[in-house]
């Protein structure tokens, strides 16, 4: 099968592979600890771990965009900030 029309690059392939691994990881987590671990965090509404992953990924996307627009094209710091943000979301939201 020829997927050259999708214009794949190594960085984008790694990006999607990471997302896919996260989803598989969430599936494994759910298998061993079913129910999604719902709880009410600092946002004062109930979230499951799936919600927390969604909030982490969406927030990370905006952190990267904000960094790009306000600071510059070196996104490693934005990535580090996103990881800290995701840990905080999983810990407190």
Interacting residue ranges for another protein, rule: CB under 8 A = 4-9, 11-12, 15-16, 44-46, 54, 58, 61-62, 65, 68-69, 73, 75
Q: Where are the beta strands (DSSP E) in the chain?
A: 39-40, 46-47
Between 40 and 83, CB nearer to another protein? 40
State how far the Cα of 54 lies from the Cα of 36, in Å rounded to an integer. Answer: 13
State in angstroms the smallest separation of the CB of 48 from another protein. Answer: 13
Which residues, other chains included, contact 86 with Cβ-Cβ below 8 Å and sequence gap of 6+? 56, 57, 59, 60
State in angstroms the smallest separation of the CB of 6 from another protein. Answer: 5
State in angstroms the smallest separation of the CB of 83 from another protein. Answer: 19
Between 30 and 37, CB nearer to another protein? 30
| CA 6 to chain centroid | 23
């Amino acid at each position: 099968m020829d997927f050259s029309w999708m214009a794949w690059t190594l960085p984008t392939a790694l990006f999607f592979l990471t997302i896919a691994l996260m989803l598989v990881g969430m599936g494994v987590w759910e298998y061993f600890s079913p129910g999604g671990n719902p709880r009410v965090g600092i946002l004062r509404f109930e979230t499951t771990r799936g919600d927390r992953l969604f909030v982490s990924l969406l927030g990370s996307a905006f952190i990267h965009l904000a960094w790009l627009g306000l600071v510059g094209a070196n996104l490693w710091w934005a990535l580090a900030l996103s990881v800290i943000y995701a840990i905080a979301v999983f810990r407190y939201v």
